Structure 1
């Protein structure tokens, strides 16, 4: 089989360390009874260990050259190799509506989009593992008060327990990326109802972290079609910056903003 040449336009960095690949594959054991969907298998360095799990496995790969390679290397997976763009897929159709584990060596340039899509399909994905850029992993796992705490931290932790598992250096990839990587695991928490309007919550979080150095009384103005009443700005949250709020406080703030919006 002819090796696939990594394509810069697709952000491909093929993992070459088999021990790390095996460790990543083993992270899916947290959800042992569910099928697995791997994103961006490339030449199958992670796939070769996932097929040993004796679980239903599908892989989705946008690169046609990699798809051809995978079909040749893993003939028993031929019916489960999907040549498509994950971001455009209807995930409810992947396993006929059955929940599944998401994993992969995720392309750095679309990793955040992958996780936002996962949030939109959170009832289908109780567990997600894989490797991403270390900086993104740190943001996802960050706690209130830290510089890394932001949009990804709040939105992901609202629905998932986030574990930063281990760091991976640059030298185990072809070609080596310019940044370090990290392996993470996300497991759905017990939250069924967030306690506020999810769409408004998401909009609010993105809005205030878009001006993270400003107090909430300033950044929140963008949400309202007309200025809120004076009482709104008397709330103790208004003199805080977004990184100072916990997820539960963001829920409370969302409900306060929703009530104010109803008066306009």
Structure 2
């Protein structure tokens, strides 16, 4: 199979530069886990280096395209039983007994944000992630409060992971050539736990950014029935002005007042 197929419905651009593929794999630390899950392996350009460098590790491939998953089984017959034809967004690692694994991939650009939210859902099992993203998405992930690209994804990812933009890549390392620039980022799980109600935290972040131009006293109106709502810190700020640490503090303040209501 040649690099000529572009599956539009999967929005996948295939990496063809072996030096870039090798560089991506080399950025995995391979510390404190023995399993790697590759998302959207395509033609296996990352897979070959995963197996070449780390054949002692368990390697699972999740490929949504049946044609490509069949191709991968022929190319890597020794991994045949660990090649999963399916959608990562519907994949539950607990059903496979996987509770400590890294994630790597050249992620489909149209699904990259959803992939990150799915990683967040199982963040307690995922100590590390290395991924290729559309550069705009990568910048959003690593941006800080007050910056134009700062948003929900920035806050949530930075709450659970140390993030780093590793390097950018040119368009000509893909086939077909995309219309956007790309970048590779690293996520490494933070040791400290988030010491607030995580469901409430998620609700606060999403509600605040749904009206990001409004001050929090207005965007969080759905919570105003709790005790002493207007005494909560940060209400004179907008969502884009709060760091992830301040969102945690905001959540704890709301949590305390909710308990006072009960």
How well do the aligned residues superpose, as a CA RMSD in angstroms? Answer: 1.8
Counterpart of 1:249 (choices 246, 251, 254) is 246
| Shift, 1:228, TM fit | 5.0
**In 2: Cα distance, 1:97 partner to 1:115 partner:** 18
| Shift, 1:189, TM fit | 0.7
Instruction: Provide the residue aligned with 1:157 in structure 2.
Output: 158
**In 2: Cα distance, 1:227 partner to 1:235 partner:** 13
> CA, structure 1 residues 261+76, in 2 after alignment: closer, same or farther (shift >3 Å)?
same
**Greater CA deviation, 28-37 or 97-106?**
28-37
> CA, structure 1 residues 42+259, in 2 after alignment: closer, same or farther (shift >3 Å)?
same
| Shift, 1:198, TM fit | 0.3
Instruction: Provide the residue aligned with 1:83 in structure 2.
Output: 85
Q: Confirm or deny that 1:120 pairs with 2:121.
A: yes
What count of residue pairs does the alignment treat as equivalent?
259
Stretches (4+) displaced over 4 A: 1-4, 226-229
Q: 1:58 aligns to what SS in structure 2? A: strand
**In 2: Cα distance, 1:201 partner to 1:258 partner:** 9
Q: Confirm or deny that 1:36 pairs with 2:33.
A: no
Q: 2:24 aligns to what SS in structure 1? A: helix
Q: Any unmatched runs of 5+ in structure 2?
A: none
Instruction: Provide the residue aligned with 1:25 in structure 2.
Output: 25
Q: What's the TM-score, normalizing by structure 2?
A: 0.92
**In 2: Cα distance, 1:32 partner to 1:174 partner:** 35
Q: What's the TM-score, normalizing by structure 1?
A: 0.92
| Shift, 1:29, TM fit | 2.8
Q: Any unmatched runs of 5+ in structure 1?
A: none
1:201-229 CA-partner distances (Å, limit 9, x unpaired): 011101111111111111001x33x6456
**Greater CA deviation, 236-245 or 15-24?**
236-245
